Chains A and B, each alone.
Chain A
């Protein structure tokens, strides 16, 4: 059986004053039905642009999807007519964004924002849509749904707004939800509530989830597989346990070492990734991480390494020295 979502060599670029920026530079991965995968990376790594490209939500100009295929349930989303694409967005693929305040319409009641989806996608009558909206609010754990439906986004707390976003994403029984930093703007206890809710609902309703985040703890708790992105490419991918316990790309290794741990007494010093992230408009033909890499050799300046299998099944890393590095870091640890 083919995977629910298969992305092949997706490329998205932006034309800027400084030149062409390849924000997403040929990424490929798959998502199986019902599974949760995480896309990890820092600002500018292309993790959000990559996800927005799946839904063709790239503003053109300045952006443009320049190549690749996105096969969702057998169809290539890149080739769909606009009208059909519109039915996919918010229909079979739901979205949850980072800022619930800016992604909800401030002048419509939350009820209207849910019923609108049902009327548009399902042709539901107002009464039916209203009833379904109440059910959805119960599902996402909002008490007193009839009253809440009449309220406006500014009358709700951040956590409540994110619950509404999840309700909207669930409206048309999606098979896949893309959540872009869904809890970054929230406090830690509310973050935990929202993540547990998403985990519970995706399991219960058998929905696949792509969660985009920079929080390595969130990834460890919720994702079964992880893609690590750097400078527009996936530099390492694999099962969560392999990524955390046997990382093979120097960037992944450095990232994991640079975070302080809540569950451990302080060590003497943190081990940061030195230097700055690269300017995507000025990349050369070599590996983009090379200037910050402790393992770089002459070959790294010649070409960008492709993803190659390392370690266990499904674990790949884009590093010429992926095999040696495990041994070296093993010694160091």
Chain B
């Protein structure tokens, strides 16, 4: 799938990423029952300055992929090459602590739940200050305090909020604090893990706009993990769709949403109702049958075949490799054909 030449040097390159979690039984004698293949062979790149959307339903491995990139998990196999350095360290070359720290300064994260990702006993100021202390960015406390106030105002909050506690703020305001904390180290890459899912509709739009403004202002690169496809279409240049630990389709945003090829992507898009009753009245709609199978014992061959409307016999045995059906459009399905007029 790396057939086409990418004109820009990718900031992040993920190759053959696998993250398998052991499933054990028993309290004292841990017996290995099997493995959850949360991420099972994922390849993608993220170019500098772009936003890549990672979408899929719960359990598809999108969050685990993000956690591997942040090195909050140690991948079972594969490479995560960030600006030339392999973060995965799955081979012999384990990253040294100071190397990891240096990379963490450049890669930050925004979490989904602004309630549980902020320490309730710390003031907002202390929360934003902490990464700067940990990474010894600025030794002077007065200057750090000044920086906290700047960050708050960049994120659309009153600088005096530095003295407040998270419980005194609304969900949208807390998420802005989470964003300010992520920006404290001047990172270049931010993993956004469902950053707006917990917010009300009217507040969601405010935070989406803020993320866009910050991307422009600071030249940020985002990996945007989400299940809300409408937000992803709005915010991302390219999108990868995951199902049971694998990427089933990846393309630029408009191509993916306007002419999806993989049957799972099609089912996913069809399942999302559009906020317009006259469009909804004309849409014929048959939801995809069945539920996502267990990642402990995934189906053989193509993992989507038990629910797939176009599956044939060979799909049960052969795992479809991702192939580039047109420039930049990768699909892992043996059945889809490109019937473009040209």
Residues of A within 8 A of B (CB): 42-43, 157, 159-160, 187-193, 196, 214-222, 240-241, 244-245, 254-256, 258-263, 265-267, 269-274, 276-277
Chain B interface mostly? helix
Report whether A217 and B201 are in contact in the complex, using a CB–CB cutoff of 8 Å: no
Complex Cα spacing A214 to B292, Å: 25
Report whether A259 and B206 are in contact in the complex, using a CB–CB cutoff of 8 Å: no
- B227 contact from A43, A160, A188, Cβ within 8 A: A188
| Apart from A192-B271, A266-B234, 7 more pairs, CB < 8 Å | A187-B292, A196-B285, A217-B272, A220-B280, A258-B202, A261-B233, A266-B233
Q: Does B209 contact A (CB under 8 A)?
A: yes
- A270 contact from B209, B267, B279, Cβ within 8 A: B209
Complex Cα spacing A77 to B172, Å: 38
Closest to A279 in B: B170
Which residues of chain A are within 8 angstroms of B279 by Cβ–Cβ distance?
A: 220, 263
Complex Cα spacing A216 to B276, Å: 8
B92 → chain A closest CB, angstroms: 40
Q: Does B99 contact A (CB under 8 A)?
A: no
Report whether B285 and A272 are in contact in the complex, using a CB–CB cutoff of 8 Å: no
Complex Cα spacing A267 to B230, Å: 12
Q: Does B7 contact A (CB under 8 A)?
A: no
A217 → chain B closest CB, angstroms: 3
Report whether A196 and B274 are in contact in the complex, using a CB–CB cutoff of 8 Å: no
Complex Cα spacing A157 to B57, Å: 14
Contact flag A220-B233 (CB < 8 Å), given A189-B267, A189-B271, A272-B209: no
Which residues of chain B are within 8 angstroms of A216 by Cβ–Cβ distance?
A: 201, 275
Complex Cα spacing A23 to B139, Å: 49
Contact flag A188-B274 (CB < 8 Å), given A214-B201, A261-B230, A269-B212: no
Q: Does B64 contact A (CB under 8 A)?
A: no
Report whether A221 and B273 are in contact in the complex, using a CB–CB cutoff of 8 Å: yes
21 contacting pairs across A/B (C-beta < 8 A): A43-B200, A187-B57, A189-B287, A192-B271, A193-B287, A196-B285, A216-B275, A220-B274, A221-B273, A221-B277, A244-B275, A245-B278, A258-B205, A259-B205, A262-B233, A262-B269, A265-B254, A267-B234, A269-B212, A272-B205, A273-B205
Report whether B268 and A259 are in contact in the complex, using a CB–CB cutoff of 8 Å: no
Report whether B204 and A258 are in contact in the complex, using a CB–CB cutoff of 8 Å: yes
Which residues of chain B are within 8 angstroms of A159 by Cβ–Cβ distance?
A: 291
9 closest Cβ pairs, A-B complex: A272-B205, A217-B273, A273-B202, A260-B234, A216-B275, A192-B271, A187-B57, A258-B205, A221-B273
Contact flag A255-B234 (CB < 8 Å), given A220-B275, A265-B254, A272-B206: no
Which residues of chain B are within 8 angstroms of A259 by Cβ–Cβ distance?
A: 201, 205, 230, 275
Q: Does B288 contact A (CB under 8 A)?
A: yes
The winner among B209, B254, B276 for most chain A CB atoms within 10 A is: B276
B127 → chain A closest CB, angstroms: 20
Report whether B57 and A188 are in contact in the complex, using a CB–CB cutoff of 8 Å: yes
Complex Cα spacing A159 to B291, Å: 8
Interface residues of B in 229-266 (CB under 8 A from A): 229-231, 233-235, 253-254, 257-258
